[in-house]
Structure 1
Amino acid sequence: MTDKKKTVLVTGAAGSLAKRVIARLHGRYHVIAVDFRRKVETEPDIPSYKIEIHKRGFEDVFRRHKIDAVLHIGRIFPHEHDRTRRYNANVLGSKKLFELCRKYGVAQVIVHSTYYVYGASAYNPALLDEDAPLKASEVTQDLVDSVELENLAQIYLWKAPELNITILRPCNVLGPGVRNTMSVLLMRPLVPVLVGFSPMMQCLHVDDMADALVAAFEQNKPGIYNVAPDDYVTYQTMVEQSGCRKLPVPSVPPMLPKMISSALNWGSFFPPYLVNYFKYPVIIDGRLFRQTFGWTPRRSLNDIFSYYRKHKLLPH
């Protein structure tokens, strides 16, 4: 009897989101775990590799396994490495990945992007749909790699239709184990807030984002999709609901918050390049994804924030 299970390669396997995706796929598909930070401990029947995605060893994985689909979740966050290392991994590494997918006949690629690519501006419309311009790199060089990765994925979306590329742009993904900037921020007991600003924000539990990635893979409807709930909350409410105390930071003149962040070495949780996101709302319209894939988030805002409240009660 022939084994009809698809083989799925998941990048960023050490991350909380990727681990949840792998758990959902395991058993129904053959899963291959890849990470560029460390070799991930997995189930015995899940091959795991530590690779540099822009180096030669990555191709060996494609030679060794007949890969049907790639879920490209792995990326280096701006607070983790310098700009050059990030660009090499996130942009050049992704280009290598797309080329390997073409060379070895991979039939589907899901790319995990971010709403940050839209850029935070006082002139943003109330709801940003998938056709809105990606202006983040105009605001700060530290988001260039995020925008370049998106642009690259869009080029391959049209240039290589056989890859069936789906690009997902989620809002703030939060919850247990997540190490992105917003999650690192909400873990802290004392959190900076800009005086005079409290923009609306959207939040998604990491379990709901894992479900979204699996839905995008299983239904295979290529295109570009925002992933977000239809409710919002102000940044200051997020901070309060997560059990953080607020540290007011003057926002005038505009460079002051960036100078304070740099001077106090707040780069990992209040990085200068994201200051505008704490000033201006970036609300994305997630209707297209919800309607196309029949997906709705199951976790409430309280489910999300209660994790951060409980974390602060634990002995450290």
Structure 2
Amino acid sequence: MSEQKRPHILVTGAAGALAQQVIQRLRQDCDLVAVDFREQVYLGDDIPSYCIDFNKRVFEDLFRRYDFDGVIHLGRIQSSQLTRMRRYNANVLGTQKLLDLSHKYGIRRVVVLSTYHVYGATAYNPALIDEEAPLKSAGLSMDLVDSVELENLANIYLWRYPELNITILRPCNIVGPGVRNSISTLLGSEHAPVLAGFSPMMQFIHIDDMATALVLAYHHQARGVFNVAPDDWVAYQHALQLCGCRRIPVPSIPPSLARTILRTLKLKSFPSYLMNFFKYPVVIDGRLFAREFDFTPERSLKEIFRYYRENKHPV
């Protein structure tokens, strides 16, 4: 009897902590190729690793050479990175190129990492936001346009090419060791800004649980869009207290004053385009993903906050 062929999977965003966690979970049973737009990373002799711009012709050579079965696309550039145009080229045009090549070379499984930021933060958000809610971020902040367009692209390919079996995941705030996003930087700082009079409810998912969710999503081929979040949440200011942060109140009116103060304090971890997310709650409903993929986060909020309390990195 012939030995079953190991799946060959392309993982993008390989320089990030989340992608490396996913790779560690898959390497025993899959042949992996790692790619990142920003830098080449060494992941062991068994995993070829490349630093490639998806929009360059050489990217297609990987599809010819490795005969991929699946793609896990974690290479979304955060809004705090690069200029708006370079970010758009990487996130939107790069993702379009990736999906075009996936269709051209007969890929049968694609998982795309998005973000809950696409819903936008407004005073009129429902208590629990499900996957059917409109994506309002593009109308609220130009800095989140590329995140919404990336999702819209993935949705177009999801319905146009059902054979790609695309799953799009919208996680809440991903935090934990190695995570370098804005909220993780705030939780790990000695002093953190808060908008005076506001303390919205927030959700947090540990990087270990998010990596598990991505692996589950890859193996269990359910097409569609899914929120990924635990069923508990906490007020932002209380989360800072539990992480041992000293809060710095910043007046929220007028918005230009808040931005000026943040620039003066050099608090890049509190970007102005996310200011509404520190005003209004954006609590997403993760029950559909939990049911469909039999997923339950293992890391509690208590454990997450203990990590940040014990690992302070002044900002």
TM-score by length of 1: 0.97
**Counterpart position of 2:97:** 96
Task: Judge conservation of contact 1:257–1:275 (CA < 8 Å) in 2.
Answer: no
Instruction: Give 1:136 deviation, angstroms.
Output: 0.3
What is the identity, as a one-letter code, of the residue corresponding to 1:184?
A: T
SS of corresponding position for 1:121 = coil
CA distance in 2, matches of 1:120, 1:258: 17
Instruction: Give 1:262 deviation, angstroms.
Output: 3.5
**Counterpart position of 1:302:** 302
CA distance in 2, matches of 1:39, 1:80: 17
Residue 277 of structure 1 pairs with residue 277 of structure 2: yes
SS of corresponding position for 1:76 = coil
User: What does residue range 12-161 of structure 1 map to in structure 2 within 5 Å?
Assistant: 12-161=13-162
SS of corresponding position for 1:168 = strand
Task: Judge conservation of contact 2:189–2:314 (CA < 8 Å) in 1.
Answer: no
Q: Could you list the per-position Cα deviations for residues 117-138 of structure 1 after superposition, in whole angstroms to 9, with x for gaps in the alignment? A: 0000001111100000000011
Distance 1:166 1:315, change over 3 A: closer
Task: Judge conservation of contact 2:15–2:36 (CA < 8 Å) in 1.
Answer: yes
What is the identity, as a one-letter code, of the residue corresponding to 1:108?
A: R
Q: After the TM superposition, which segments of 4 or more aligned residues of structure 1 sit over 2 Å from their partners?
A: 253-256, 258-267
CA distance in 1, matches of 2:227, 2:61: 33
Identity of aligned residues (%): 59
Instruction: Give 1:148 deviation, angstroms.
Output: 0.4
Residue 287 of structure 1 pairs with residue 287 of structure 2: yes
Task: Judge conservation of contact 1:262–1:272 (CA < 8 Å) in 2.
Answer: no
CA distance in 2, matches of 1:3, 1:291: 30
* TM-align CA RMSD: 1.4
CA distance in 1, matches of 2:128, 2:232: 12
Distance 1:315 1:116, change over 3 A: closer
Task: Judge conservation of contact 2:137–2:145 (CA < 8 Å) in 1.
Answer: yes
**Counterpart position of 1:201:** 202
Instruction: Give 1:252 deviation, angstroms.
Output: 1.8
What is the identity, as a one-letter code, of the residue corresponding to 2:66?
A: H
What is the identity, as a one-letter code, of the residue corresponding to 1:21?
A: V
Task: Judge conservation of contact 1:251–1:257 (CA < 8 Å) in 2.
Answer: yes
CA distance in 2, matches of 1:257, 1:160: 45
TM-score by length of 2: 0.97
**Counterpart position of 2:234:** 233
State the number of aligned residues.
Answer: 314
Gaps of 5+ in 2: none
SS of corresponding position for 2:255 = coil
SS of corresponding position for 1:226 = strand
Task: Judge conservation of contact 2:191–2:314 (CA < 8 Å) in 1.
Answer: no
